[in-house]
């Protein structure tokens, strides 16, 4: 169970880093970001989380706000995974989680 929580937490962290990196690189690259290879890589890597957020969210939410919504639910899920990992480690013993 601990391994599944650690893997889920790691995947959430990666998704968050892809979305934040995409945002920051988009700010730096400006209007020509679609031609930037690194922005394209981050865009492809962040697509699953953005796609899932678009499918779950109501149509009222604009497409430009989907990365913020995805980051929000990923951050909340990450906090829950950390809490679950702490609970499992306390139950198993701290020494077995290191």
**pLDDT tens profile 56-73:** 999 998 999 999 999 999
pTM metric for this prediction: 0.86
Residue 79: per-residue pLDDT:
98
Rounded Cα gap, residues 94 and 77, in angstroms: 23
- Give tens-digit pLDDT for 27-43: 998 888 888 899 899 99
Helices 66-92 and 2-29: crossing angle in degrees, nearest 10, is 150
Rounded Cα gap, residues 69 and 55, in angstroms: 12
Residue 30: per-residue pLDDT:
84
Rounded Cα gap, residues 71 and 65, in angstroms: 10
The more confidently predicted of residues 23 and 97 is 23
């Amino acid at each position: 169970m601990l391994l599944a929580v650690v893997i889920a937490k790691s995947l959430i962290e990666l998704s968050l880093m892809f979305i934040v990196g995409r945002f920051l690189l988009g700010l730096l690259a400006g209007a020509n970001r679609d031609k930037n290879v690194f922005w394209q890589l981050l865009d492809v890597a962040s697509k699953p989380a953005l796609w899932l957020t678009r499918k779950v969210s109501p149509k009222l939410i604009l497409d430009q706000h989907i990365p913020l919504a995805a980051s929000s639910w990923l951050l909340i899920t990450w906090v829950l995974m950390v809490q679950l990992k702490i609970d499992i480690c306390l139950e198993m013993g701290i020494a077995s989680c290191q």
